[in-house]
């Protein structure tokens, strides 16, 4: 069962991440009730504003603002998976999960948003 269907069947709140594999509109429609949107702000206001506008248009009543490293630290999980996974991940991932790279901008929430001016998912990061 998809998470959005599970949330609907149990009448649970769902919070959707900026880097989710499904767009906010599809999740809200499948759930049949408002969802909260977890925003990873970028270093460019126009990109962040585009994400907020999409969430607002989809009926999200709450923005959950993430101010730490988006995606958390997956070093241990990644270290365990490397020996078993022979795929070339460089087409989607860069060395930093905070860069506006294919890992981030390839997610559905960035569809239709010009990300060429942005560089990072943290406004104050270097």
As a whole number, mean pLDDT of residues 78-85 equals 56
d(CA 28, CA 7): 11
> Is residue 6 predicted with pLDDT exceeding 80?
no
pLDDT band at 119 (very low <50, low <70, confident <90, very high): low
pLDDT band at 110 (very low <50, low <70, confident <90, very high): confident
Question: Contact, 45 vs 57, CB < 8 A?
Answer: no
SS3 75: helix
As a whole number, mean pLDDT of residues 15-36 equals 90
Question: Contact, 64 vs 36, CB < 8 A?
Answer: yes
> Is residue 91 predicted with pLDDT exceeding 60?
no
Domain ranges of the chain: 3-110
d(CA 118, CA 98): 11
As a whole number, mean pLDDT of residues 12-18 equals 87
pTM: 0.66
Q: What was the pLDDT predicted at 33?
A: 87
Q: What was the pLDDT predicted at 11?
A: 75
Q: Which residue has the tokens 């490293």?
A: 69
Does 121 or 54 have the greater pLDDT score?
Answer: 54
> Is residue 42 predicted with pLDDT exceeding 50?
yes
Question: Contact, 41 vs 17, CB < 8 A?
Answer: no
Neighbours of 31 (CB within 10 A): 21
As a whole number, mean pLDDT of residues 28-51 equals 90
Strand partners, 36: 15
Q: What was the pLDDT predicted at 68?
A: 64
């Amino acid at each position: 069962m998809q998470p959005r269907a599970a949330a609907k069947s149990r009448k649970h709140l769902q919070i959707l991440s900026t880097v989710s594999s499904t767009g906010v509109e599809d999740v809200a429609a499948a759930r049949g009730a408002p969802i909260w949107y977890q925003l990873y702000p970028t270093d460019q206001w126009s990109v962040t504003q585009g994400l907020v506008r999409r969430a607002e248009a989809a009926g999200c009543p709450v923005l959950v603002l993430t101010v730490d490293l988006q995606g958390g630290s997956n070093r241990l999980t990644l270290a365990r998976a490397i020996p078993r996974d022979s795929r070339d991940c460089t087409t989607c991932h860069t060395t930093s999960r905070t860069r506006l790279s294919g890992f981030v901008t390839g997610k559905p929430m960035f569809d239709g948003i010009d990300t060429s001016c942005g560089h990072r998912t943290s406004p104050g990061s270097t």
